[in-house]
Amino acid sequence: MSNSTAIFQADAVSKMFGDLWAVDRVTLGIPRGEIYGLVGPSGSGKTTLIRMLCGLALPTGGTAKLLGSSMPSERRAVEHRFGYMPQERAVYRDLSIAENLLFFGQIYGMSRARIAERTRELLDLMKLSDRGKQRADRLSGGEKQRLSLACSLLHEPEALLLDEPTIGLDPSLRREFWDHFHQLNAAGRTILLTTHYLNEAEWCDRVGLMQQGRMIAEGTPDDLKAEATTRSGQARPDMEEVFLILTQESVAGGVS
Amino acid sequence: MKLYRMGAVTERVLRQLWHDRRVLVFMLMLPAIAMLLFGYSFSGDITDVRVAFIDEDGTDLTESILESLQEDEAFNVTVLESVDDPERLLLEEGYQAVIRIPDKFTSLYYAHFAMGVATSAQGTIDLTIDESDPQVAATIRMGLADAMMDLGEGGPVEVETRELYGVEVRFIDSFAPAIMGFVVSLISIVLTLLSIVREKVDGTFSRIWVSPVRRAEFILGYVIAFGLIALVQSLVVLTIGKTVFDIVINGSIFWAFGCTILFAVGSVGLGTLLSALAQTESQAIIFFPLVILPSVLLSGMMWPIQAIPRLLRPLTYVVPLTYSNRLMRAVMVKGLAPWQEPVGFIGVLVFVILTIALASVVLRQSAGERE
């Protein structure tokens, strides 16, 4: 899977916490223009994998590359070109919406005029127009999440790493988020995201299924369904069934 | 390093403080309250100690002793005709001391003075004193001794005093510099600690470390924000000190502000350092007494280091406020330049360099083991 044009690339990357392999020799290549979804139970290593790819965690073994740069050693070369949305809401509670965007724009070297322009655009997009002066801790969960996404998009990154961007959102809001993702994707952005919602996996170009730090299956949603049918004989499984079949297979496969 | 990124951090910290009105009020009120509270309760000037004065001799000399005592604001002197039982006055009348000058005091006093050490006969003043409060008792002894010294040429011993540094320095004058360092460092440590722990909890830290912001820019952004706050707080302390307590500032205000800001920088470093040991805000709060208690008890702020038991005295040298107090008092009370108080100056400099360097290391770890 070593693809020289890959936006996100992992080669047998591993991360050990204490005596636990949080990520165990994962290899991954995501070409430009793809929406790639990492799914798997909590604690399966999705967040750690994303953190290694954006340079927040040092791999114990293997290499993680973002836009062709080794992370974290060469992160300076690409730090302006990617956006990261952490699992926590990651906005300043005691700042207003506009002030949050101002700060995250300033640290990327954007001019105040440009930040104001982008703020208008993004607040329109996120249906937060005229709310700029509202403090983040007065926002609902969904609004806070929209602000968090806006903060990650502000500096117009070409690569996006979104950790559980839709967690805790109601179904209609999740739909809206996915509309944003598809719009961003259509505008040329490459997106790597994690999700708990298996129906969302259907909306990705490709899906990686993780369990206990390992990548146990990977492919388009249709590939995974076919794989599940082969293994279990069940015709036309939905994503939830695919997940159950493939993860059980892996546990039953007995590699502890 | 880019100034605009550092400035962005400073602006953000100041905006956050500005929005949190409680914190803002706390920041400005604390120096004011501390100065007023400590200033009034520790002003050190004991007044209105009730003293009974019985003059059985009745000469010009004893008259001038009485005048001296009456001029002393510490005493509320009542002149009595005679006394049988001084103890009863203490017990039942509420006097804290009874001073009785016996008959022939004056003649014995001059006789002793004239014949030098050759005679054992000397004037004796009979002092009955309530020792239950040692500070009051000490004030009485001192007041009486002062009154005797006021007799001037009559006294057997002449003490020639040269008052160095602060002339007429009262407790409050040397307390203001200490309270400035204390309040400024307390606020800087506590708010830096809470702010950084909050960044960790909320995940904004992750956003910062994937962005172009460098560790030095982050720390300096905080340092500048709290340096500005330290300046405002120093102004509050000095304004109240000047207007309410009329404190004497012998030194340069410029050095006073400079040294306060320097100490605030170290405090931001210490707050950053402590943030590494706390994962949540409630864990961070555990550190508050750890910061406050040694500063209050062991820094020489409330009482001199010499009043601290020898066993504990080495500890005073690891309390940063000890050095700040020395430095601030040298600069404000003695009117020296910082380098003329090398122990305090170097102590504060070492504190700054050490905490900022360690804070930088600690941030690297928080930033996710990069590099």
pLDDT digits (tens, 9 = 90+) for A94-143: 999 999 999 999 999 999 999 999 999 999 988 888 888 999 999 998 89
**Chain A residues whose beta carbon lies within 8 Å of the beta carbon of residue B198:** 93
CATH 3.40.1710.10 fits B49-154, yes or no: yes
pLDDT at A4 exceeding the cut of 60: no
Question: How many CB pairs lie under 8 A apart between chains A and B?
Answer: 92
- Whether cis (ω within 30° of 0) applies to the bond prior to A72 is yes
First to last CA, chain A: 26
**Chain B residues whose beta carbon lies within 8 Å of the beta carbon of residue A151:** 207
Closest Cα partner for A183 from A97, A129, A104, A122?
A122
Model confidence pLDDT, tens digit, residues B51-86: 889 888 888 888 888 888 888 888 888 888 887 788
State the Cα–Cα distance between residues B326 and B345, nearest whole angstrom: 8
Give the residue from A156, A185, A207 where a domain finishes: A156
Residues A11 and A137 in one domain: no
Residues A168 and A251 in one domain: yes
Residues A177 and A217 in one domain: yes
Q: How many domains does chain A have?
A: 2
Residues A123 and A243 in one domain: no
Closest Cα partner for B97 from B120, B116, B74, B117?
B74
Contact predicate A209/A221, CB 8 Å = no
Query: Is the Cβ of B332 closer than 8 Å to some Cβ of chain A?
Result: no
At B81 the pLDDT is 84
Number of neighbours of residue B7 by Cβ within 10 angstroms: 16
State the Cα–Cα distance between residues B126 and B115, nearest whole angstrom: 23
**What is the mean pLDDT of the segment spanning A199-226?**
91
At A192 the pLDDT is 96
Q: Which residue of A has its CA nearest to B195?
A: A92
Instruction: Work out the pLDDT band at A253, boundaries 50, 70, 90.
Output: very low
Model confidence pLDDT, tens digit, residues A55-99: 999 999 999 999 999 988 888 999 999 999 998 889 999 999 999
At B354 the pLDDT is 95
Residues A68 and A171 in one domain: yes
**What is the mean pLDDT of the segment spanning A151-177?**
92
Give the residue from A104, A132, A156 where a domain finishes: A156
State the Cα–Cα distance between residues A166 and A176, nearest whole angstrom: 10
The ipTM of this complex is 0.89
Residues A74 and A200 in one domain: yes
Contact predicate B137/B130, CB 8 Å = yes
At B212 the pLDDT is 93
Query: Is the Cβ of A252 closer than 8 Å to some Cβ of chain B?
Result: no
pTM metric for this prediction: 0.80
- Is B19 in Cβ contact with A135 (below 8 Å)? yes
At A100 the pLDDT is 95
Q: Side chain identity at B254, as an amino acid letter?
A: F
Query: Is the Cβ of B342 closer than 8 Å to some Cβ of chain A?
Result: no
Q: What are phi and psi of A14, to 5 degrees?
A: -135, 155
At A153 the pLDDT is 93
Residues A76 and A177 in one domain: yes
- The most distant pair of C-alpha atoms in chain B lies apart, rounded to whole Å, by 91
At A2 the pLDDT is 43
H, E, C per residue of B110-126: HHHHHHHHHCCCCCCCE
Structure tokens at B69: 């005592």
Distance, C-alpha A223 to centroid of its chain: 21
Instruction: Work out the pLDDT band at A256, boundaries 50, 70, 90.
Output: very low
Give the torsion sign (CA, B11, B16, B22, B27): negative
Q: Is A233 helix (H, G, I), strand (E, B) or coil?
A: coil
Query: Is the Cβ of A104 closer than 8 Å to some Cβ of chain B?
Result: yes
Q: Which of B7, B201, B370 sits opposite A55 (nearest CB)?
A: B370
- The most distant pair of C-alpha atoms in chain A lies apart, rounded to whole Å, by 59
Residues A68 and A100 in one domain: no
At B167 the pLDDT is 54
**Chain B residues whose beta carbon lies within 8 Å of the beta carbon of residue A73:** 371
At B156 the pLDDT is 52
Residues A27 and A14 in one domain: yes
Give the torsion sign (CA, B222, B228, B233, B234): positive
Give the residue from A118, A139, A156 where a domain finishes: A156
State the Cα–Cα distance between residues A124 and A106, nearest whole angstrom: 20
Residues A108 and A205 in one domain: no
**What's the gap in Å between the CA of A95 and the closest CA on chain B?**
6
- Is A51 in Cβ contact with B367 (below 8 Å)? no
Q: What are phi and psi of B79, to 5 degrees?
A: -90, 125
Please name the residue that has the structure tokens 């973002």. A66
Residue B369 is given by DSSP the state S
Q: What does each of the 371 residues of chain B score in pLDDT, given as a tens digit?
A: 889 999 999 999 999 999 888 888 888 888 888 888 877 776 666 778 888 898 888 888 888 888 888 888 888 888 888 877 888 888 888 888 888 888 888 888 777 767 665 566 677 888 888 888 877 888 888 888 888 777 755 555 555 656 556 556 677 788 888 888 998 999 899 999 999 999 988 989 999 999 999 989 999 999 999 989 988 988 888 888 888 888 878 888 889 899 999 999 999 999 999 988 888 888 888 888 888 888 888 888 877 788 888 888 888 888 999 999 999 988 888 888 899 899 999 999 999 999 999 998 888 776 655 43
* Domain extent at residue A113: 90-156
Give the domain CATH number at A14: 3.40.50.300
Q: In chain B, what are the domain boundaries?
A: 3-42+170-366, 49-154
Contact predicate B129/B137, CB 8 Å = yes
Query: Is the Cβ of A178 closer than 8 Å to some Cβ of chain B?
Result: no
Residues A105 and A72 in one domain: no
At B161 the pLDDT is 59
Residues A146 and A118 in one domain: yes
At B364 the pLDDT is 79
